[in-house]
């Protein structure tokens, strides 16, 4: 069967914010060979290429010219390295949550705290996804990618990916230049639960399985976060801000109950959701967009809005926080098809 190409393809259902967007051309290659083929076609035609995954951490403009590529490579395999370590080779198009739960059922440890994060595996390194005290960078060994400009394949070691808090080389030097095709993760058969974040330890027994931890994380997330399939959102809209220690000290003198987390580099991480909540914005709404009534870090789309309206609403929230606390909030979702 030949690869199906689509023109003027509606992407409003392909981003979890539900923003209106149309791709001039759209294709979903299911193999590396198909991916290489469509990239050759795009280069020969001079089309700009946009790579789209699960659309869970993006703000899409209303029109994406050229070609939108959504890799549909969606499988994984496990390779035993020794009696405790397992290398997992996972294709970029696989659903991240399905991977987490499948590996947890197999008794493999390392990513169980990252359950129920929406999106595809290929997007996970871009954001260096993290939750409940665990980041992808903790287990990622290598990233396989293909350069859009010439189809060249490359393998990056994790150490070369520039991982930071919600950050990576894929958001900077390689932004818009590559498509991620496969990940290599190092997981363990040895129980190593990480339960120090939030209420997680109270949700499991004294010797939980990886699956029990993953299920507890799912329950916690479902209690706090809206399902994008029910109420459009992109999860956490703002990063938790990092401030210098002296800034945090002054803020704590004024707000002793302010959540704060000391970092290895001496800075202090603040809770963006708490800052927004303290401004009285939780549950607020302005037109098509609002702040979720249970988690102020999540902006929701009630329908009928567009990217311009969302960015305006987000900007007003950031301004309120800056005016009250002197802290700058940074947007987490990436802009695609939008010039700042």
pLDDT in tens, 166-196: 999 999 999 999 999 999 999 999 999 999 8
Give residue 340's pLDDT. Answer: 72
pLDDT band of residue 80 (cuts 50, 70, 90) is very high
Give residue 185's pLDDT. Answer: 98
Give residue 339's pLDDT. Answer: 86
Respond yes or no: is residue 34 known to be catalytic.
Answer: no
**Active-site residue (options: 142, 166, 182, 320):** 166
Q: How far is CA 160 from the centre of its chain?
A: 19
Give residue 278's pLDDT. Answer: 98
Rounded to an integer, what distance in angstroms lies between the CA atom of residue 283 and that of residue 135?
29
- Segment 307-324 shows an average pLDDT of 98
Give residue 160's pLDDT. Answer: 98
Rounded to an integer, what distance in angstroms lies between the CA atom of residue 141 and that of residue 157?
6
Q: Compute the mean pLDDT over every residue in the chain, rounded to the nearest whole number.
A: 96
Q: Is the pLDDT of residue 248 over 80?
A: yes
Q: Tokens at residue 34, please?
A: 């198909």
pTM of the model: 0.91
Rounded to an integer, what distance in angstroms lies between the CA atom of residue 134 and that of residue 56?
19
Give residue 329's pLDDT. Answer: 98
Rounded to an integer, what distance in angstroms lies between the CA atom of residue 132 and that of residue 164?
16
Instruction: Domains for the chain: give ranges and CATH numbers.
Output: 5-69 (3.30.43.10), 76-224 (3.30.465.10), 232-336 (3.90.78.10)
The position carrying tokens 């590996």 is 103
Helix (H) or strand (E) holding 68: strand 67-69
**Active-site residue (options: 56, 168, 236, 284):** 236
Q: Is the pLDDT of residue 65 over 90?
A: yes
Helix (H) or strand (E) holding 307: helix 307-325
Q: Residue 260: beta bridge partners?
A: 270
Give residue 146's pLDDT. Answer: 97
pLDDT band of residue 220 (cuts 50, 70, 90) is very high
- Segment 40-63 shows an average pLDDT of 95
Give residue 252's pLDDT. Answer: 98
Q: Quick one: CA dihedral 293, 295, 297, 303, positive or negative?
A: negative
**Active-site residue (options: 112, 135, 215, 332):** 332
Respond yes or no: is residue 56 known to be catalytic.
Answer: no
DSSP 95-153: BHHHHHHHHHHTT-BSSGGGTT--SBGGGHHHHT-EETTEEGGGTEEEEEEEETTT--E
- Segment 230-244 shows an average pLDDT of 96
Model pLDDT for residues 92-148, shown as the tens digit of each residue: 999 999 999 999 999 999 999 999 999 999 999 999 999 999 999 999 999 999 999
- Segment 18-32 shows an average pLDDT of 96
Respond yes or no: is residue 332 known to be catalytic.
Answer: yes
Give residue 1's pLDDT. Answer: 47
Model pLDDT for residues 256-312, shown as the tens digit of each residue: 999 999 999 999 999 999 999 999 999 999 999 999 999 999 999 999 999 999 999
Q: Are 263 and 192 in contact (CB under 8 A)?
A: no
């Amino acid at each position: 069967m030949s690869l199906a190409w689509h023109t003027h393809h509606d992407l409003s259902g392909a981003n979890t914010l539900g923003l209106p967007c149309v791709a001039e051309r759209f294709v979903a290659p299911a193999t590396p060979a198909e991916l290489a083929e469509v990239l050759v076609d795009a280069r020969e035609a001079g089309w700009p290429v946009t790579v789209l995954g699960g659309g869970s951490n993006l703000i899409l403009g209303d029109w994406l010219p050229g070609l939108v590529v959504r890799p549909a490579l969606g499988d994984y395999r496990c390779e035993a390295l020794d009696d405790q370590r397992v290398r997992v080779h996972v294709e970029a198009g696989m659903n991240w949550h399905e991977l987490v739960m499948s590996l947890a059922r197999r008794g493999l440890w390392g990513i169980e705290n990252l359950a129920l994060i929406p999106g595809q595996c290929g997007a996970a390194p871009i954001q260096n996804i993290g939750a409940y005290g665990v980041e992808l960078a903790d287990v990622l060994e290598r990233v396989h990618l293909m350069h859009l400009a010439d189809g060249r394949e490359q393998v990056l070691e994790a150490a070369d990916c520039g991982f930071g808090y919600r950050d990576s080389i894929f958001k900077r030097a390689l932004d818009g230049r590559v498509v991620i095709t496969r990940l290599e993760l190092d997981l363990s058969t040895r129980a190593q639960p990480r339960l120090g974040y939030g209420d997680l330890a109270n949700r499991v027994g004294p010797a939980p399985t990886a699956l029990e931890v993953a299920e507890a994380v799912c329950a916690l997330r479902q209690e706090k976060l809206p399902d994008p399939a029910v109420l459009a959102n992109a999860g956490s809209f703002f990063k938790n801000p990092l401030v210098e220690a002296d800034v945090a000290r002054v803020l704590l003198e004024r707000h002793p109950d302010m959540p704060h987390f000391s970092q290895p580099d001496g800075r202090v991480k603040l809770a963006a959701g708490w800052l927004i909540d303290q401004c009285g914005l939780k549950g607020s709404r302005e037109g098509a967009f609002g702040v979720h009534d249970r988690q102020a870090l999540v902006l929701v789309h009630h329908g009928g809005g567009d990217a311009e309206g969302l960015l305006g609403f987000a900007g007003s929230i950031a301004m309120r926080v800056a005016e009250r606390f002197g802290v700058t909030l940074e947007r987490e979702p990436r802009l695609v098809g939008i010039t700042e």
